[in-house]
Amino acid sequence: MADTDDFDELDDAEDADGDDEESLDEPSGGGKKRLFILLGVALLLVVGGIGAAYATGMLDKLIAMIGGAEEVAEDEPIPTADVVFFDLPEFLVNLNTSGRKSTFLKLRVSLELNRQSDIPHLQEIMPRIVDSFQVYLREMRVEDLKGSAGIYRLREELLTRVSAAVAPARVNDVLFKEMLVQ
């Protein structure tokens, strides 16, 4: 029996050291968690990098090369052989101001059209176009016209109004020839 007591003492000593068989058979959960976290971070970085490259346009050239599309030089202007410009009469309106001092806007614009055949239609409904522009411009304030963002909003609003007035004819753009705020 003395021999069995020696073995029990040996087992107790191994348990105290932490080198028993049960601890070797059980895998630690921390290693798997760490692996999943690292894989998740790596996947997030790859997907985020691809998304950022696509959003900035860096992937366009790669996609064009893979797809076999011809590369278009950014310097070359797009051919506009069929584009026609139609000048509107000069607009002179007083802007909406809260003070006693009047502020005026002088505006000359051209409309970019697809077809020459749309010009007679525009001439017929010119009073509707002028009315639409006048009503909108009179409600503008000087602050609305400040900066490039203000000019861009004005262009978009005038394009929306003229497109509604001339339908079914199509207006591509509103081009400013002169703009004076005084």
Against a cut of 0.85, is the pTM above it?
no
What HEC string does the chain produce? CHHHHHHHHHHHHHHHHCCCHHHHHCCCHHHHHHHHHHHHHHHHHHHHHHHHHHHHCHHHHHHHHHHCCCCCCCCCCCCCCCCEEEECCCEEEECCCCCCCCCEEEEEEEEEECCHHHHHHHHHCHHHHHHHHHHHHHCCCHHHHCHHHHHHHHHHHHHHHHHHHHCCCCEEEEEEEEEEEC
Average pLDDT, the chain: 80
What is the per-residue pLDDT for 152?
A: 92
pLDDT in tens, 111-156: 999 889 889 999 999 999 999 999 999 999 888 888 889 999 999 9
What is the per-residue pLDDT for 15?
A: 52
Q: Which two tokens mark 71?
A: 């590369």
Residues of the chain with pLDDT under 50: 18-23, 76
What is the per-residue pLDDT for 20?
A: 47
Give the integer Cα–Cα distance in Å for 132 and 28.
75
What is the per-residue pLDDT for 101?
A: 86
What is the per-residue pLDDT for 22?
A: 47
